[in-house]
Amino acid sequence: MAKLTIPFGKFLPDQATFKNPGVIFARNVVPKVGSYGPFRDFSVYSNALDAQVLGAAFARNSTGATFIYAGTPTKLYELVDTTFTDQSVGGGYSTATDDVWEFAVWNRNGKVIATNYTDAIQSMTIGAGASANFATMITGTNVPKAKHVGIVNQFVVLGYTNDASDGIRQSRVWWSALGNEANFDPDAATQSDFEDLPFGGAVQRLIGLNEYGLIFQRDMVRTMRYVGGGVIFEMLPLNYAPGTPIPNSVIAHKGMVFYIAEDGFFAINGTAVEPIGHGGIDKRFWDQFDIAHRRDLSVAVDPVRKNVCWAYAAESSGSSLPNRLLLYNYADRKFTEADVEIDFLMRAETRGYTLDGLDVIGTDIDNAAVFNVSFDSEKWNGGNINLAAFDRDHKLGYFDGLTKRGTIETGDIQPIDGRRWQINGVIPLIDGGQPAVSSAARTRLIDSIAYGSSASMNTDGECAICIEGRYQRLRTSISESTSWSHIQGLTIDYELTGER
């Protein structure tokens, strides 16, 4: 009898299954350094909005109080405690079928800004919902509408604009007067101006970083640096970085920017451009994703777990709304997947609950199935930075419920080239939970995949399976609602059974 330990390496579904150096399936688990951890179910936090959420943002006011803003096709909302309140202008809004709400937090002036391209750009003082609604932001002579908004240096910047004088300008970048989001009249004294980018395609996203901004176009990425004088901003191509066909895929975090290009997944760190999905996830994503559903893709950063998360409609879900989450751990450079049913993904800071606020979750506090989390949990205290989303009922919540059923599959294993072998038992290297293991054995790599019955872990820590073949791949499943933190791999008891 021999033993073979298989560490669970990176999720590499784009590579061949035979001698794959990682795993070929990793669902409802999160990437960790040297292991995988559990992905938790969604738990409701707020009341419901009136329709599908098309954008949202998290902001703090000058005292540090937290607020969440969200937009549906016809309304803009502010969350205070656990309740969203309609803060729209009179008559509401008319977001077009292919458009979304983009938000920018303008900390310099304590404002949250929202644009949907159809309606006049909106702004509101952060936390002012008790006394004021959103209102038209620009009050000058030039009142452009825009698909995209960002904050660069001390300017509010718009991209892909439409104004009364020049109409639609897909490649236009237009910035406000210095420190004044209400004035977009070009003027040397105020430094407001615009530029039509000569090549690169339509503006897709605007990202403001500490010292400069990034302009994502359809075919390229440019830096946007403040130089003052008559030029004001210098806009130069960034090291052959590919652009993006999916505006909602771009997100910044602590000086790094992550996004999806036609070439796959990329990260930008300063002037360095890195293909983070090559040889791992790029092909799988594009095989699953329909570009026609680009509007409903969303992205958020989970800074506590160091994950960038993209939510999208995968495979034949029958809907454009996200049913799959792709997680990328930017510290350990590992991907995983999770099943979700949501409108929109975001990062937010949890607020504490009052007893009255619990009514949005349920009125029967003895029903643990409704509340999911023990009342001893810190969830109820608030103040946690967390991955958040709006579910299909348009309610805000967090992925802090019970653990989901996790599944990891290895590639096709063969201890000695050309030899058949028999598995006599498998030990999951896990620190809790209720794991079970099954095997799919094949004589030829062209044979179909068929997993046998799964075996649960016994009191000796072993899953008692017995199966023979030339190539074998192993599936490990961890039951939902169980407590565990890390799974590192498998130790296999086996014997060789023949040359052929």
DSSP code string of 323-352: -EEEEEETTTTEEEEEE--EEEEEEEE--P
- pLDDT of residue 474 exceeding 60: yes
**What CATH number was assigned to the domain covering residues 43-351+384-398?**
2.130.10.10
- pLDDT of residue 358 exceeding 80: no
pLDDT of residue 500: 57
Distance of alpha carbon 181 from alpha carbon 136, whole angstroms: 11
The whole-number average pLDDT for the span 93-104 is 97
DSSP code string of 21-45: SSEEEEESEEEETTEEEEPBPPEEE
- pLDDT of residue 416 exceeding 50: yes
**What CATH number was assigned to the domain covering residues 2-39+404-498?**
2.60.120
- pLDDT of residue 165 exceeding 90: yes
The SS3 of residue 378 is helix
The whole-number average pLDDT for the span 422-438 is 97
**pTM score, whole prediction:** 0.92
Q: Which residue has better confidence, 159 or 386? A: 159
Same fold, 2-39+404-498 and 43-351+384-398: no
Domain locations in the chain?
2-39+404-498, 43-351+384-398
To the nearest whole number, what is the mean pLDDT of the chain? 93
Distance of alpha carbon 224 from alpha carbon 217, whole angstroms: 12
Distance of alpha carbon 417 from alpha carbon 223, whole angstroms: 51
Percent of residues, the chain, with pLDDT higher than 90: 87
Segment 287-323, tens digit of pLDDT: 999 999 999 999 999 999 999 999 999 986 678 999 9
Q: Which residue has better confidence, 377 or 475? A: 475
pLDDT of residue 174: 98
- pLDDT of residue 381 exceeding 60: no
Distance of alpha carbon 195 from alpha carbon 105, whole angstroms: 23
Segment 138-153, tens digit of pLDDT: 999 999 999 999 999 9
Distance of alpha carbon 272 from alpha carbon 266, whole angstroms: 10
- pLDDT of residue 365 exceeding 80: no
C-alpha triplet 8, 9, 13: angle, nearest 5°: 105
Segment 65-92, tens digit of pLDDT: 999 999 999 999 999 889 999 999 999 9
Helices (H) and strands (E) counted in the chain, each on its own, are 2, 39
